[in-house]
Amino acid sequence: MAANVQDVVMLVGDSLTQRGWEHGGFAQLLAEAYIRKLDVINRGLGGYQTDWAIPICEQIFAKQHEQHHVPQVKLLTIWYGANDAASAPNPQHVPIDRYKANLSHIINMVKSPTSAYYSPETRIILITPPPVNTKQWVGTPRVFETTRSYAEAVKEVGEKDNVPVADVWTKIFDAAGRSEEACEKYLNDGLHLTSDGYNIVFHAIMDIVARVYPELDPTWEAHGRMQTVFTLWDQVNVQNPRPSLMKRKVQL
Amino acid sequence: MAANVQDVVMLVGDSLTQRGWEHGGFAQLLAEAYIRKLDVINRGLGGYQTDWAIPICEQIFAKQHEQHHVPQVKLLTIWYGANDAASAPNPQHVPIDRYKANLSHIINMVKSPTSAYYSPETRIILITPPPVNTKQWVGTPRVFETTRSYAEAVKEVGEKDNVPVADVWTKIFDAAGRSEEACEKYLNDGLHLTSDGYNIVFHAIMDIVARVYPELDPTWEAHGRMQTVFTLWDQVNVQNPRPSLMKRKVQL
């Protein structure tokens, strides 16, 4: 019985997305930034890679004929690769060419006018996997240079499909002075992010929003582009409140 | 184009709810606890009181004929009073008897079989306003004993309407050794909560869930009652993944 009141930011990905609801995670930071404007829907699935993501996206994206009943996804982040880059024969491994094809497939589910899931109002941001600190990580094998190449692959897909990329691999590696060990400030176990790491992710997303999708900029600096769905309390007409309490368009 | 995949926890209230997306806020903690099971929808509106909440709830609750298109609200928290308790003639002030009637009205929108918004699957938790530390607070006037009486009023409504109450007024005041000044550990400005304060709110909610609504207990200890919508990655059938990736009922 939740009416559709706010449109959404949807996050798809693996454990890096799933853990985004932790203190200081990027989902938490986005939810705080978009409060009263857009809801944040976290569809991160720990351990998943892009082969498995496609059947998931077929279920979590609405088909065109369903779209007038459901919230619009105004912003979609796509963040896979940390598991695709696992070394073969681990079942999580996806070869890099198929990884790129899978990312393109997911993008085109949303962007292609012939797709059943076509959603022209959805703005997409691709996110690169962060560096892996193999000195810290004790799970299924990862190779530093392999993850780097998967991050490069995301940038190639972004270029080809004309989707902006939050290159958190480079931003985190640069913040760590380009030292694998120094990445531990940003990676709590060598693979997953600390709140410092998530802070970089959040700001990389918001930078792209401000530059590429300014109509979705929720900050005060962009005041006038987005308003809250329900009016601020000091704008309520105290004598006759009801008309002033009707929901409004968020984007002006 | 967000398909309905997960049902939701909906939070309605004032700024105490709105700020629940901050680091360590109760929305963030609930989102983390219910990850991959239920989405958390924050409908907190800073400065609002129960007179204004009723027209809002008429828009954010789905009517019965819309309910098969929208996510079910499995858990609803109702948390007003911090502004209703403001001193007259502040426009936020709602007299205590009307405050109680308004809370009952919102509850019965959901619970009454004759209501257009009737939603028998929705479990409700009422939350009392926290104590106000008048030594800290510099906004529109509040009186310590008045807020206490509004917290008592919530308990009366809960009793009358058979809805469990998270009595955070008492839990915070007790945690502060029943000293108004010592509440500053839990109140960052005398009215709004610190992460320590929100931690008390979160645990008060989860205690009620475990005792009264155990079918909604997301913890490992209650394992078997709720499962993730999509299977854990190590349960994916690697040879033939698609059937194992179909969404599932969360409640068993």
**Euclidean distance between the first and the last CA atom of chain B, given in angstroms as a whole number:** 28
Residues of B with CB below 8 A from A120's CB? Answer: none
CB within 8 Å: B41 and A39: yes
pLDDT tens profile A118-173: 999 999 999 999 999 999 999 888 999 999 999 999 999 999 999 999 999 999 99
Residues of A with CB below 8 A from B27's CB? Answer: 31
Residues of A with CB below 8 A from B11's CB? Answer: none
pLDDT of B83 above 80: yes
Q: Find the mean pLDDT for residues A51-65.
A: 96
How far is the CA of B114 from the CAs of A82, A229, B57, B122, B219, in angstroms? 51, 29, 16, 15, 35
Q: Which of A21, A23, A51 sits opposite B35 (nearest CB)?
A: A21
Closest CA to A208 of A102, A100, A79: A79
Residues of B with CB below 8 A from A5's CB? Answer: 43, 59-60
Q: Which of B67, B234, B246 sits opposite A1 (nearest CB)?
A: B67
Residues of A with CB below 8 A from B245's CB? Answer: 52, 55-56
Bridge partner list, A43: A12
Closest CA to B26 of A224, B108, B34: B34
pLDDT of B91 above 80: yes
Buried b (16+ CB within 10 A) or exposed e, B222-250: eeeebbbbbbebeebeeeeeeeebebeeb
pLDDT tens profile B175-207: 999 999 999 999 999 999 999 999 999 999 999
Strands B73-79 vs B123-127: parallel, antiparallel or unpaired:
parallel
DSSP H or E stretch at residue B39: strand B38-44
The residue ranking higher by pLDDT, B43 or A251, is B43
Residue B153: which region, alpha, beta or left (left: phi > 0; alpha: psi -120 to 50)?
alpha
CB within 8 Å: A1 and B117: yes
Residue B173: what residue type?
A: F
Residue in A with minimal Cα distance to B25 = A23
Question: Distance from B7 to chain A by nearest Cα, in Å?
Answer: 9
Q: Find the mean pLDDT for residues A220-240.
A: 89
Residue in A with minimal Cα distance to B110 = A1
Question: Distance from A138 to chain B by nearest Cα, in Å?
Answer: 17
What pLDDT score was predicted for residue B209? 97
User: Which residue's structure tokens are 């499962």?
Assistant: B227
Residues of A with CB below 8 A from B117's CB? Answer: 1
What pLDDT score was predicted for residue A48? 98
Q: Give the least confident one: A10-14, A144-148, A205-209, B65-69.
A: B65-69
Residue in A with minimal Cα distance to B21 = A32
Domain locations in chain A as residue ranges: 7-220
CB within 8 Å: A233 and B48: yes
Q: Which of B24, B52, B245 sits opposite A241 (nearest CB)?
A: B52
Q: Where are the alpha helices (DSSP H) in B10-95?
A: 15-18, 26-33, 50-60
pLDDT of B84 above 70: yes
DSSP code at position A119: -
pLDDT tens profile A69-127: 889 999 999 999 999 999 999 999 999 999 999 999 999 999 999 999 999 999 999 99
pLDDT of B153 above 80: yes
Closest CA to B25 of B42, B1, B8, B2: B42
What pLDDT score was predicted for residue A140? 85
Question: Distance from B115 to chain A by nearest Cα, in Å?
Answer: 12
Residue in A with minimal Cα distance to B22 = A32
Residue in A with minimal Cα distance to B44 = A36
Q: What are phi and psi of A249, to 5 degrees?
A: -65, 140
pLDDT of B86 above 80: yes
Tell me what the pLDDT averaged over chain A comes to: 95
Residues of B with CB below 8 A from A62's CB? Answer: 1-3
The residue ranking higher by pLDDT, B64 or A232, is A232
What pLDDT score was predicted for residue B223? 64
Q: Which of B23, B44, B62 sits opposite A24 (nearest CB)?
A: B23
pLDDT tens profile B38-51: 999 999 999 999 99
What pLDDT score was predicted for residue A3? 84
User: Which residue's structure tokens are 């990905």?
Assistant: A13
Q: What share of chain A is helix, strand, coil (3-state, %, to 5)?
A: 45, 15, 45
Q: Give the least confident one: A178-182, A191-195, B2-6.
A: B2-6
CB within 8 Å: B8 and A27: no
Residues of B with CB below 8 A from A73's CB? Answer: 1-2
Question: Distance from A7 to chain B by nearest Cα, in Å?
Answer: 9
In this structure, the dihedral spanned by the alpha carbons of residues B200, B15, A3 and A41, taken in order and rounded to 10 degrees, is -60
Q: Identify the three-state secondary structure at position A73.
A: strand
How far is the CA of B111 from the CAs of B65, B154, B200, in angstroms? 16, 17, 27
Residue A247 · residue A229 · CB < 8 Å: yes
**Two tokens at B104?**
């009952």
DSSP code at position B9: E
Residue in A with minimal Cα distance to B3 = A62
Domain B7-220 superfamily per CATH = SGNH hydrolase (3.40.50.1110)
Asked if the interface predicted TM-score (ipTM) of this complex is over 0.95, the answer is: yes
